[in-house]
Amino acid sequence: MHDRRPVLSTQSSHRPLSRSLLSARKFALMASVVAGLGAGAVGLGHGPFDLIATPAHAQQVGANVQPSQQPVGFADIVDKVKPSVISVKVNIADKMAKNEDREDFSLPPGSPMERFFRRFGGEMPPGLRGHRGGGMITGQGSGFFISADGYAVTNNHVVEGADKVEVTTDDGKTHKAKVIGTDPRTDLALIKVEGASNFPYAKLSEGKPRIGDWVLAVGNPFGLGGTVTAGIVSAMGRDIGNGPYDDFIQIDAPVNKGNSGGPAFNTAGEVVGVNTAIYSPSGGSIGIAFSIPANTVKAVVEQLKDRGTVSRGWIGVQVQPVTPEIADSLGLKKAEGALVAEPQSNGPAAKAGIESGDVITAVDGTSVKDARELARTIGAFAPGHSVKLTVFHKGKERELTLTLGELPNKIEASNNTDRGDRGGANQGLDLPKLGLTLAPASSVAGAGKDGVVVTDVDPKGAAADRGFKEGDVILEVAGKNVSSPADVRDVLAAAKTENKNSVLVRVRSGGASRFVAIPIAKG
């Protein structure tokens, strides 16, 4: 390549003229500069300005600037922790690729994680983007060693359905690995790398991070391997709709596809979380990523290592949050605890005497903030463990002791919302102030014998605002069973006479029960 400089003139006849003009301009410019400096010196100083004799007045830029302390970097921490992080490559048989419309094969269709990201309208978690070839799907994720003998943690959605797993360590070596066990409910998996017993490993943190703490995410984004990003803990206790055990750490360290299963380190070099998901309309990092807390990882990994599966304690109830309206309806001082929508037949809670409408406020003397906290607390105990529950029952507090069962792998629930031919059900009672039209359940085909059926909902009414829809069955109002629209009207009238602001209604919808607080019209 030639260094071609701009040509001012290509005609030789112009050169003497150009030089002459240039010389004249230089002279004029120098004269004006000197005159200006002299004038400035006279105007600003105490005497005439001597251009040659006063060089001492000039100062070197930065001569008197005091050096500041350099920001602390993360290089020393990275040197220590990076060797424990691995890239995970999997091969999945083509049977997983039957859905031709999906490019991301890390999540099975309809899984909770997939529903979460589709609900937000963004891309799938930072994990595996499958590539077809030779009847197999390949993908890449991340992980990290937790012991020198080759046990490593990654995400369930990274290795789910894998026929072959390989890991690449920080030194570039490739090893075969096998899946020891997985836990879809927390999206964690334990794998065992073969071939050595002196792998560098990371320590899971004993404590919880605080909002604002530094974190380092290390992983294999987009298959690049060995990438380190930094950020802070943005929030704690995030629920992203993955399940009842959601308790994610939100971080803003850039996390992308392929970081799934990789660790988030604190400045002590300990793992505070396992990166599992991002929210991203574009598919790349926008500073919102979610990590599974280290204490959850530790509890799950211990069981996976011992048995290959995870078993959790279970009390057998459908629970929901206690809203301020519900708390007011029940007479609770605080909107805390877990409201029992329905105890499962023959479950531990039902056998102990817990009923619909009870609020579980504490477990073994420790307060329960909400329904999710109850699920996490009970799930942390082993089946067969005995717990003492504090329950708010019909305006009074009582304590019950029960033995936990084992959480079923899958709880069957009826989702049949087809009520069939309603045969004149619209002739039921109107409750215009709530925006509901009701009919006895026994008069509506497919609605069962108990309660009253919602046959019409005014979209502008108070009931519609609280989620009522046609086909819902109202079983209780203010703790009393109802079997006719007149029963509902009478209970509401009594509540109005007692100057209550709202009443609690138990509703069955799609095979599941829930409580809804509806306002009492004062007019």
CA distance 434 to 518: 8
Q: Which residues pair with 215 in a beta bridge?
A: 231
Q: Which residues contact 40 (CB under 8 A, 6 or more apart)?
A: 49
pLDDT at 228: 95
The answer to whether residue 418 is catalytic is no
Rg (CA), the chain: 35
Question: Are the beta carbons of 518 and 489 closer than 8 angstroms?
Answer: no
Q: Could you please report the per-residue DSSP string of 411-451? A: ------------SSGGGSEEETTTTEEEEEGGGSTTS-SSS
CA distance 232 to 250: 9
Question: Are the beta carbons of 179 and 90 closer than 8 angstroms?
Answer: no
The answer to whether residue 187 is catalytic is yes
pLDDT at 51: 40
Eight-state DSSP code of residue 280 = -
Residue 353 burial (CB count, 10 A): 13
CA distance 480 to 487: 9
Picking from 487, 513, 491, 510, the residue whose alpha carbon sits closest to that of residue 502 is 491
What separation in angstroms does the CA of 376 have from each of 160, 287, 296, 333, 427?
A: 24, 27, 10, 24, 46
Tokens of 5: 């400089």
pLDDT at 169: 94
CA distance 393 to 391: 6
Q: What global pTM score does this model have? A: 0.64
Picking from 508, 511, 446, the residue whose alpha carbon sits closest to that of residue 481 is 508
Choosing from 106, 142, 187, 247, the catalytic residue is 187
* 3-state secondary structure string across 253-276: CCCCCCCCCCEEECCCCEEEEEEE
Q: How many CA atoms lie within 13 A of 63 on its CB side?
A: 4
Eight-state DSSP code of residue 213 = -
The answer to whether residue 14 is catalytic is no
Choosing from 84, 106, 157, 252, the catalytic residue is 157
Choosing from 87, 234, 260, 280, the catalytic residue is 260
pLDDT at 190: 97
Burial pattern 265-291, b for ≥16 Cβ within 10 A else e, equals bbeebbbbbbbbbbbbeeeebeebbbb
Enumerate residue ranges in the chain where pLDDT < 50: 1-54, 95-109, 112-113, 115-133, 411-428, 523
Instruction: Report the run of H or E that residue 140 belongs to, with start and end.
Output: strand 136-145
Note the Cα 442 to chain centre separation in Å.
Answer: 43
Residue 236 burial (CB count, 10 A): 14
